[in-house]
Structure 1
Amino acid sequence: MTSWLRDSPLRMSLGRRRAPSPLHDVDPAAAFQSFIKHWQQTCDIINRTKLRGQVFADDVTAVINHLAQMVTLLLVDLKQIMAHGARNQNGIPQKSSKGGNGNKVTTIGNPLEGIQEVSSQHSSLPAENPPHTPIFDHFLGEEILDTILTWSLNTGEFVNALKLEQLKVHEQLLSHSKQEILVYKPIIRPLLRLLASCGGCVPVDVEKRLVVLLNQLCVSLMHNHQLLDFFFQFSSDQGPTKFMIFSLLLPFVHREGGIGQQARDALLLCMALSASHTSVGQYIAQHSNFCPVLAAGLSGLYSMLPRSLTVESDGWHRLSMEDIADIPQLQLFLNSLEFCNAVVQVAHPLVRKQLVEFLYQGFLVPVLGPALHQGDAVNGEIQAHNTPVFLSVVGEVVAATAYVELCLRTVTEPELRRVFLAFLLTSANSPAVEPPIITILISRLHSPNTLH
């Protein structure tokens, strides 16, 4: 997928823009006034585009620049909030506060409340100066993220560029405040709306940033299970059960490269979360396509493997690490198999059971089974003449046998090993019609040709 703003003035402008440097030893009053000025200029641009009925590239560039400056200034307050929270980690009860807009904001040990300490450099400031965290209070009260998101979703060709920048903002806020910032409605609400808007077809740049943020959110959920209430919809009176983070990650489960690896890491965190939350496990097993997608993906990756292998030594008997490194498709297949193994290791029992069943019924029996049985379809006359057709089939059977042996070496979880053994030792059909795989493999040990 190509970039959505290639060669445009906005694209080049964003490419030249550098993230503002972190502020050190800044005057809080000056920082607050600068923040207000940037926000006012942003509001002016938004209102002007609404009156005009059209958004230009310069408008988008200016809003992005103002947003970056506001976030940099906001980090001044976040640093103080986190420092205060670190000093008050022991037994802080759940509290409620009100944002500047009057909306009740439920927090867990809200570090903004009851702040008494003022650093020595601020002790000489007059009493009428802004409170200790004025930027953060203003950021929440003005619902800045909500306002910018609402405007950005109506900017036409620039919507994806603005999604990308907003994903970066949420990523930056989360990385500087860990999961504590997610308890504020003026932050979690636009975050959920932004994530929902990324559920369709978006450019690769947005996908990469989306997966990074989703990974961060999964880490936050593991550190604070109470945050699950924001991202997992439990009750039936709110409609069907939904787990937005999980649903957004699932399309990337078989993606190559770093984006796929980050998505799989995040999905494993979701699996670990399901082990301690039955409702999450039930959702994944009963209301998502996770297990079918894994089994189908494994089958698809297997179909991309070489049908035959180049054997350079008479003593060759199995695939080595060097062989795997020389076959990129095989590495992708193993990555998927290892991911299935990891899921079975950490997921809820319902998920483990369903995944094992889908792997047996959707991969082992219909895909690996025929690959191992195909040598028996060659009649004796062709075998006797050692024809090219027979040699081709022999090569395919040797490759399939090597792949099965590699699978057995790769899986470590007892449940997966049992299903592989069941596949080898029992027949999916009548034994009289189709003998077990193990019987065929043993018979090939006595074969006079290369099948052994």
Structure 2
Amino acid sequence: MLTSVVSSSNRGRALTLKGVDPETCMIVFKNHWTQVLRILEKHDPGRGGAVSLRFGPIPGDEASAVQNYVEHMLFLLMEEESGQGGAMGTILEFVVVENVMEKLFLWSLRREFTDDMKLEQLRMYKMLVAQAKQPLLHHKPILKPLMMLLSACSSSSTVGPTAPSKSSAAGLTCTVGPSSSAVEAELVSLLHQLCHVLVKDASVLELFFHSSQDQGAANFLLFSLLIPFIHRDGTVGAQARDALTLIMSLSSQNSLVAKHIVENTYFCPVRNVICMV
């Protein structure tokens, strides 16, 4: 859905919103979201009383419309500056209050959650984290769907028809199939990027633990998702090991990380002694 905005992100950054009235940007963003929401709600199984989670393929013109609107919305969000004293900009505040990111993610799950769609969403978050002019990960309505996406794209979260993964926030149950090597590579790349963010901004770390609890992944989803990749060859393995090293380095500064490593992993052979102390 978001391929073009991701592939042209560098070109898009050449366009800025300097001199553009923030109120105008907010009006445009709201108008775009209204159009997107109409399409999302039209294909919401819950509204139609359907038993199945999916109605089938979304008509091409509607899918293209959503793509175009979301492209513009993402650009407006990335370019928005923080308000006075570091307060949220009006667009970011709207995204948080309206739970925009989770609604977009759940809409993807209600369709056929293909590898192409996984790649698009992973790249979307990489772009947002790297290029946004205000911090985004401090806000749970943005962080939570990101963690849901990471879990859905991980091979460790692959489940079959008898063990569907669940989104407790929306009461949605979905079956996630195995991911391709391309999705795994993009997943590890995003995990690596997020670990760098944690090192630079430790205040986000506790939020990651709280979001991980929603996913039921030993209280620290980033750590859990990296483990299957640390013995891989090539770039994927190298990035996974580097990302895990960054997390391990945080254990000397953060008791949550240290406790997780001691109690929930095999990286600390004297964990029982430490716990007794």
TM-score by length of 2: 0.71
1:71 to 1:56, Cα distance in 2 relative to 1, 3 A: same
Counterpart of 1:445? none
**Rounded Cα–Cα distance in structure 2 between residues aligned with 1:177 and 1:33:** 19
Matched, 1:148 2:104: yes
Return 5+ residue gaps in structure 2 as ranges: 49-53, 159-177, 272-277
* TM-aligned CA deviation for residue 229 of structure 1: 1.5
- Whether contact under 8 Å (1:233, 1:241) holds in the other structure is no
- Whether contact under 8 Å (1:275, 1:281) holds in the other structure is yes
* TM-aligned CA deviation for residue 57 of structure 1: 6.3
Counterpart of 1:209? 186
Counterpart of 1:428? none
**Rounded Cα–Cα distance in structure 2 between residues aligned with 1:148 and 1:240:** 23
1:18 to 1:275, Cα distance in 2 relative to 1, 3 A: same
Counterpart of 2:169? none
Matched, 1:191 2:146: yes
1:42 to 1:255, Cα distance in 2 relative to 1, 3 A: same
**Rounded Cα–Cα distance in structure 2 between residues aligned with 1:270 and 1:247:** 11
**Rounded Cα–Cα distance in structure 1 between residues aligned with 2:249 and 2:133:** 19
* TM-aligned CA deviation for residue 210 of structure 1: 1.6
- Whether contact under 8 Å (1:221, 1:227) holds in the other structure is yes
* TM-aligned CA deviation for residue 150 of structure 1: 1.3
**Rounded Cα–Cα distance in structure 1 between residues aligned with 2:208 and 2:140:** 13
* TM-aligned CA deviation for residue 145 of structure 1: 0.2
Counterpart of 1:268? 245
Matched, 1:48 2:42: yes
* TM-aligned CA deviation for residue 279 of structure 1: 4.4
Matched, 1:249 2:226: yes
**Rounded Cα–Cα distance in structure 2 between residues aligned with 1:218 and 1:245:** 8
Counterpart of 2:87? 112
Counterpart of 1:33? 27
Counterpart of 2:66? 63
**Rounded Cα–Cα distance in structure 1 between residues aligned with 2:79 and 2:5:** 26
**Rounded Cα–Cα distance in structure 1 between residues aligned with 2:12 and 2:199:** 31
Letter in 2 for 1:30: T
- Whether contact under 8 Å (1:143, 1:186) holds in the other structure is yes
User: What pairs up with 1:37-186 in 2 under 5 angstroms?
Assistant: 37-50=31-44, 53-56=55-58, 58=60, 59-77=62-80, 80-81=81-82, 111-112=86-87, 133-156=89-112, 158-177=113-132, 180-186=135-141
Return 5+ residue gaps in structure 1 as ranges: 1-9, 89-110, 114-132, 292-349, 355-452
Taking only aligned residues, the RMSD between alpha carbons, in angstroms, comes to 3.4
Paired residue total? 234
When Rg is computed on C-alpha atoms for both structures, the one with the higher figure is 1
TM-score by length of 1: 0.45
Which of structures 1 and 2 has the larger relative contact order (alpha carbons within 8 angstroms, sep 6+)? 2
**Rounded Cα–Cα distance in structure 1 between residues aligned with 2:234 and 2:226:** 15
* TM-aligned CA deviation for residue 267 of structure 1: 0.6
Counterpart of 1:287? 264
- Whether contact under 8 Å (2:6, 2:124) holds in the other structure is no
SS in 1 for 2:56: coil
SS in 2 for 1:39: helix
